[in-house]
Chain A
Amino acid sequence: MANVHQFDVVVVGAGGAGLMAGLYASRGAKTAVISKLYPTRSHTGAAQGGISAALGNYEEDKPEWHTYDTVKGSDYLGDQDAIEFMCSEAIDAVLELEHMGLPFDRTHEGRISQRPFGGHTNNETGKPVRRACHAADRTGHMILQTLYQQCLKNKVNFFDEYQVLDFILVNGRAAGVVAVELATGELHTFHAKAVIFATGGHGRIFEVTSNAYAYTGDGAAILLRRGIPLEDMEFFQFHPTGIYKLGILITEGVRGEGGILINGQGERFMPKYAPAVKDLASRDVISRAIYTEIREGRGVNGQNYVYLDVRPESVNRYAAMDGRTNPDGSPYTITGEQVLAKLPDIIDFCRVYLGVDPVTQMMPIQPTAHYTMGGIPTNKYGEVVVDDKDTIFPGLYAAGECACVSVHGANRLGTNSLLDLVVFGKHAGLKAAEYAKHTDFEKLPGDAESTARSAFDALRNGSGRENAFDISNELKKVMFEDVGIYRNEKDMTAALEKVRELQRRFKDVGVNDTGRIFNTELLNAWELGNMLEVAETVAVGALNRKESRGGHSREDYPERDDQNWLKHSLITKKDGRLEIGYKPVVITKYQPKARVY
């Protein structure tokens, strides 16, 4: 083992959660942040619309409303203690970002500007409330940049373009990770007291997705192989508005600014499905509504898409019909210039990829695989918990999209992902540093790198009868079609069989590039292995859960079933087979009731 590094805390991943964890951990412990990308390439940078906090900068709002909206948004599967914790920390979290220099848009009084978002409501009137704190439509970009900048300022240690391949555990405790340096192909062992996973989601297992190529579920797959369970993997969010065919995200902020959804017959259809908040219902509700319109023949030109309309004349017409007002009570209106100023990136994406100008034309959209609600089980401090009794795995932490706290339950509210990564990234960093202070290093095993090395050797020495690109495409197609927005037993059974067939075929993939320097073919093949691993847990979880809740919609079990299914699922890998267990949902103030928007 030529390359051994020793740090108190190692953070895997350098998106919002990883950077926040690195920033906080490094204040109390010797810390390294390891990332397969340069940190500023991380997928947090693609988040657009905003980060939620009940600042009340335009109108009355309170953390309790934010909490209730999140519980309701989760379809009562979120753990209410954790949700309350996140929403009560939200205001300070957003202010901290501002104090770090984040350039939020401003109100006329110079305060942080806020916009409406799906499922954010005044709990007394039921009307939408302005809770999403935004920086144009590139809020995630600003958060990622600001946190990276602060890490530089605070001299956090980075290992950029190092892909973590394995988690080292000794005597049931964290002992470090093994990574490959992409530039040289050399393996490195990071000996650590505490390890924080902040590796993001796995949206790339679906054909149409807003997610980056990097989103291959590495952290979840690595830990699953090491015996850590994964929680609620059946819950995946399909964002209603992706660019048709490409899946590129069109922020909910478009609807926050007054945009509406229109079917192929020119009708605004959301009032049928969500009479109170219409186009600002929760994402799962809107994605299903769009699919229903398409299935019933009201897609545009008989195709699998509908329109999102933010042309000022449409926005103003419907805002008047809805009686929407500005904070001062005057009627809400918008101009073309304001659309350009508030949504510059969206306009740019539509012009580049569609040749459509949203100020004068409607945008063709379809639901796109967007967010991983399930993941590595943690408590509200980012500590990984491995069973139904919330037993802590010493020294192991997770935060951000790879983690399942669970604050998002069966469906995440827009803007809560950015909040999640700031709040839980911080607490995971604090807890890990604290833990490291009172803990000694475990002794490293004789050959810590052997598992990682054999995984690479297997890919290098594969027969080559199979092609990784083909397997990847087949996986994405079957997952999107049969384990997507609408699910049923028959199609999912076939899909699961297909995933397992692809897993078998994957063993015959051979990597042609024999080099060490930037062997991206080898890395992509290894990532595909993770996707296959994670996709199986998604399909198994979805097949098992015989009810519809949030983002999980079963055609054969269309109702939510609190009697039997108000519980989290935990999937564990034992002797190569997946086993399903459960753990209770934490309910404090809000008893489950029908979810109507």
Chain B
Amino acid sequence: MEVTIKIFRYNPEKDQRGNYVTYKVEAHENDRVLDVLEYIKGKIDGALSFRRSCAHGVCGSDAMRINGRNMLACKVLIRDVGANITVEPILGLPIKKDLIVDMEPFFDNYKKVLPYFINDSPLPADGRERLQSPEERARFDETTKCILCAACTTSCPSYWANGEYYGPAAIVNAHRFIFDSRDEAADQRLQILAETDGIARCHTAYNCTEACPREIKVTKAIGEVKMAIMTGKLD
């Protein structure tokens, strides 16, 4: 089938501002949008720039706006989006070139929530694993799925309004440790998230949950963190 794909183009070394270029290409309904981008780059305009690596939705490189919604280009098929496609960079991060945005502010926010395991207590005397029941493990399973693609954060109206907001992805990664029974720094993370640019900026728009390619219930996770801040309890 013929696909008409309109792509946002911006080359900072040539263009004052971005513009849209439309391409008509042959594609199969089971092709990924990424396959179409690769074809255009390979055969029509080599300068078209975007990030990609795993091509099956686990590395988080190719989040972009496809027909107005944040998706991974490798995890959406032509049959899902139809023959008329618009592809733009994700919103709220500075555009560097075409579909490539500056990810540094995103990772800076992520790093603010202590996104790593903290437990300074002695290890079990036998040197073996710290014990954790299947139920305790299940408590934070959902948020371990995050691939840091930024689809959630860059779909969030609060983040668009204020880039200082840590954003959903950072909170998801805080959640992953706050609710891990083995971790000892939940209080510190909750304090960080209780600050002005933390959790209070979430207005439960649910865009994040809809955008997540890993189907993490992001708004629910944020809600659990909010509740923990209010009640001071983790259950």
Could you tell me which A residues sit within 8 Å of B by CB distance? 37-38, 40-43, 45-46, 95, 98-101, 103-112, 135-136, 138, 141-142, 145-146, 149-150, 152-153, 183, 212-214, 246, 248, 345, 348-349, 352-353, 467-470, 472, 511-513, 515-521, 524
Overall SS of chain B's interface: loop
**Closest approach, in angstroms, between the C-beta of B66 and any C-beta of chain A?**
14
7 shortest A-B CB distances, which residue pairs?
A101-B117, A469-B42, A110-B131, A149-B116, A521-B46, A513-B47, A153-B116
Residue of B nearest to A149 (CB): B116
**Closest approach, in angstroms, between the C-beta of A98 and any C-beta of chain B?**
4
Q: Decide: A512 near B147, CB < 8 A? Known: A103-B137, A111-B128, A112-B129.
A: no
Q: How far is the CA of A105 from the CA of B133 in the complex (A)?
A: 9
Decide if B75 touches A101 in the complex (CB within 8 Å): no
Q: Decide: A515 near B116, CB < 8 A? Known: A99-B130, A353-B56.
A: no
Give the chain B neighbours of A100 by CB distance below 8 A: 117
Decide if B59 touches A212 in the complex (CB within 8 Å): yes
B6 at the interface (CB under 8 A from A): no
Q: How far is the CA of A136 from the CA of B14 in the complex (A)?
A: 47
Decide if B59 touches A42 in the complex (CB within 8 Å): yes
**Closest approach, in angstroms, between the C-beta of A266 and any C-beta of chain B?**
25
For window 43-100 of chain B, which residues contact chain A by CB distance below 8 Å? 43, 45-47, 49-61, 75, 77, 96-98, 100
From A37, A348, A512, A519, B61 is in contact (CB under 8 Å) with A37
B26 at the interface (CB under 8 A from A): no
B163 at the interface (CB under 8 A from A): no
Q: How far is the CA of A41 from the CA of B63 in the complex (A)?
A: 12
Q: List 9 A-B contacts (CB under 8 A).
A: A40-B148, A41-B54, A43-B54, A101-B177, A141-B58, A467-B43, A468-B46, A515-B47, A518-B98
Q: How far is the CA of A334 from the CA of B32 in the complex (A)?
A: 33
Decide if B55 touches A101 in the complex (CB within 8 Å): no
**Closest approach, in angstroms, between the C-beta of B229 and any C-beta of chain A?**
22
Decide if B58 touches A106 in the complex (CB within 8 Å): no
Decide if A353 touches B145 in the complex (CB within 8 Å): no
Decide if A515 touches B144 in the complex (CB within 8 Å): no
Decide if A111 touches B61 in the complex (CB within 8 Å): no
For window 147-189 of chain B, which residues contact chain A by CB distance below 8 Å? 147-148, 177, 180, 182-183
From A107, A214, A248, A472, B53 is in contact (CB under 8 Å) with A214
Could you tell me which B residues sit within 8 Å of A by CB distance? 11-14, 30, 38-39, 41-43, 45-47, 49-61, 75, 77, 96-98, 100, 103, 107, 111, 115-119, 123, 127-134, 136-137, 140-141, 144-145, 147-148, 177, 180, 182-183, 215
Decide if B116 touches A152 in the complex (CB within 8 Å): yes
Residue of A nearest to B56 (CB): A248
**Closest approach, in angstroms, between the C-beta of B76 and any C-beta of chain A?**
8
Decide if B46 touches A512 in the complex (CB within 8 Å): yes
Q: How far is the CA of A467 from the CA of B42 in the complex (A)?
A: 8
Give the chain A neighbours of B116 by CB distance below 8 A: 101, 149-150, 152-153
Q: How far is the CA of A141 from the CA of B98 in the complex (A)?
A: 28
**Closest approach, in angstroms, between the C-beta of B234 and any C-beta of chain A?**
16
Q: How far is the CA of A141 from the CA of B170 in the complex (A)?
A: 17
Residue of B nearest to A98 (CB): B129
Residue of B nearest to A146 (CB): B117
Give the chain A neighbours of B117 by CB distance below 8 A: 100-101, 146, 149-150, 153
Residue of B nearest to A215 (CB): B53
Decide if B59 touches A45 in the complex (CB within 8 Å): yes
Decide if B77 touches A40 in the complex (CB within 8 Å): no
Q: How far is the CA of A282 from the CA of B82 in the complex (A)?
A: 42
Q: How far is the CA of A102 from the CA of B24 in the complex (A)?
A: 46
Decide if B56 touches A101 in the complex (CB within 8 Å): no
Give the chain A neighbours of B180 by CB distance below 8 A: 101, 103
Residue of A nearest to B183 (CB): A101
Q: How far is the CA of A549 from the CA of B227 in the complex (A)?
A: 59
Decide if A45 touches B54 in the complex (CB within 8 Å): yes
Q: How far is the CA of A394 from the CA of B200 in the complex (A)?
A: 55
Give the chain A neighbours of B127 by CB distance below 8 A: 95
Give the chain B neighbours of A141 by CB distance below 8 A: 58, 145, 147
Give the chain B neighbours of A153 by CB distance below 8 A: 116-118
Q: How far is the CA of A515 from the CA of B55 in the complex (A)?
A: 26
Q: Decide: A110 near B133, CB < 8 A? Known: A41-B53, A520-B49.
A: yes
Decide if A138 touches B145 in the complex (CB within 8 Å): yes
Decide if A41 touches B144 in the complex (CB within 8 Å): no
Q: How far is the CA of A112 from the CA of B124 in the complex (A)?
A: 14
Q: How far is the CA of A42 from the CA of B61 in the complex (A)?
A: 10
Inter-chain pairs besides A512-B45, A512-B47, 14 sampled, C-beta below 8 Å: A38-B103, A41-B59, A45-B59, A99-B123, A101-B116, A101-B182, A103-B141, A142-B144, A153-B118, A345-B58, A353-B77, A515-B11, A519-B49, A520-B50
Decide if B148 touches A348 in the complex (CB within 8 Å): no
Q: How far is the CA of A352 from the CA of B131 in the complex (A)?
A: 36
Give the chain B neighbours of A101 by CB distance below 8 A: 116-117, 119, 177, 180, 182-183
Decide if A521 touches B128 in the complex (CB within 8 Å): no
Residue of A nearest to B96 (CB): A518
Q: How far is the CA of A100 from the CA of B117 in the complex (A)?
A: 6
Q: How far is the CA of A246 from the CA of B54 in the complex (A)?
A: 12
Q: Decide: A43 near B53, CB < 8 A? Known: A101-B116, A105-B137.
A: yes
Q: How far is the CA of A214 from the CA of B60 in the complex (A)?
A: 13
Decide if B215 touches A348 in the complex (CB within 8 Å): yes
From B12, B52, B59, A46 is in contact (CB under 8 Å) with B59
Give the chain A neighbours of B136 by CB distance below 8 A: 106, 110
**Closest approach, in angstroms, between the C-beta of A101 and any C-beta of chain B?**
2
Residue of A nearest to B32 (CB): A353
Decide if A521 touches B41 in the complex (CB within 8 Å): yes
Decide if B42 touches A98 in the complex (CB within 8 Å): no
Residue of B nearest to A41 (CB): B59
Decide if B13 touches A516 in the complex (CB within 8 Å): yes
Residue of B nearest to A140 (CB): B58
Decide if A513 touches B133 in the complex (CB within 8 Å): no
Residue of B nearest to A133 (CB): B129
Q: How far is the CA of A101 from the CA of B123 in the complex (A)?
A: 12
Residue of A nearest to B30 (CB): A353
Residue of A nearest to B13 (CB): A515
Decide if B129 touches A135 in the complex (CB within 8 Å): no
Decide if B42 touches A41 in the complex (CB within 8 Å): no
Q: Decide: A95 near B53, CB < 8 A? Known: A103-B137, A106-B134.
A: no
**Closest approach, in angstroms, between the C-beta of B38 and any C-beta of chain A?**
8
